[in-house]
Homo-oligomer: A and B are copies of this chain.
Amino acid sequence: MRVNIGEIARRAGVARSTVSYALTGKRPVSEETRQRIQAVIEELNYRPNAAARALKEGRTRTIGLVIPPASQRLTDMQLGFVATVVDAAARADLDVLLSPSGGEHERSFERVVTGRRVDGVILMEIRLEDDRVTRLRQSGLPFVGIGRTSHPEDMTWVDVDYETLISQCVHHLADLGHRNIALVNRSAELVAAGYGPGHRAQAGFTRAVAQRDLHGVHACCADDAQAGLSCVERLLAEHPELTAIATINETAITGMYRALAQAGLAVPKDFSIAGVAAQHLAENLDPPLTSADVPTIELGARAVELLIQRIADPGSTHRHLLAAPPISLRGTTGPAKPRA
């Protein structure tokens, strides 16, 4: 049942190399022979064995996509990245090997990196100090980060400019008269582990707060609605002066809404909230969130594009793309109104 190139060659009455050339077009083959070969191929529904080809060619036509451990749910933004990476890769006739990293999944990452299973890697959820980056670098495998480390010059990446975006959120709120603003970050563990967006958002927040001479509160919050609810409950109780929230924690937003509603605060009349989120999520919240819509589609596609370039020319200089989309006003921010 296993049909290989030798079988095709035999039935077509030619050498194996001729079949190969007919397929790849790397040397001319007479029209007549080509058609004979093609007929046999279609009759037997032959496709070259990917492993054999990979072995000889030294490349697998596959890229690795390293995602956060699957057990922890992906955020909407991460999901957007995965979807567009897969999409862009398929468009370039590349397959995508999914590899959860972190925790118990070290083996998977190792296999992908050192087993030459892929031609290159796209790395998500990068930490400021990230040993996966170190591993990839020393392995010589081309890779592109969605996110960047604290020394981002000597690697290729695309990233969201959380620092600027959160800063813009704060300025926007300040323009509306808010003086007491909280930043709801992602989980304390994630931030402690050196999660880049967490740190950069905090930096942008601190900067903007200082520039506008505001009072800022920083809070970490686990990635689920329940955590968002209790986090905002606590903030409201401990900081009665707060009138607005800026956040990068997509997953907790519905919980935040709930906490505000339970506290009798209407959005945006009594309380404002703005953030950085996937457009899809922001639009589908109730009410739709005023947010900087992260262009996951463009970033994901660009990441694949950059990776393809790196694979083609591993020595090329590193390129970067830092996205800072404008804030879309969707009505969750309004003039400041001191709380009762």
Contacts and interface: CB of A to CB of B under 8 A. Distances in A.
A115 B48 contact: yes
B47 A114 contact: yes
Interface stretch (A8-16, A100-108, A238-246): A100-108
Given A52-B55, A74-B79, A258-B286, A62 B100 contact: no
Given A95-B117, A97-B96, A74 B70 contact: no
Interface in A279-332: 280, 283-286
A280 B224 CA distance: 9
Nearest to A46: B114
Interface string A78-98: 010011101100110101111
A115 B49 contact: yes
A226 B96 CA distance: 32
Interface in A92-148: 93, 95-100, 104-105, 107-108, 110-112, 114-117, 140
B86 A70 contact: yes
A49 B55 contact: yes
Given A51-B60, A90-B105, A116-B51, A95 B111 contact: yes
Interface in A175-226: 224-226
A118 to B, nearest CB: 9
Contacts of A285: 254
A16 to B, nearest CB: 16
Contacts of A225: 283-284, 286
A23 interface: no
A73 B107 contact: no
A24 interface: no
Interface of A: 1, 45, 47-52, 54-55, 60, 62, 65, 67, 69-71, 73-74, 79, 82-84, 86-87, 90-91, 93, 95-100, 104-105, 107-108, 110-112, 114-117, 140, 224-226, 254-255, 257-258, 280, 283-286
11 contacts: A51-B116, A69-B87, A73-B83, A90-B99, A95-B98, A96-B98, A97-B98, A225-B286, A226-B284, A254-B286, A255-B284
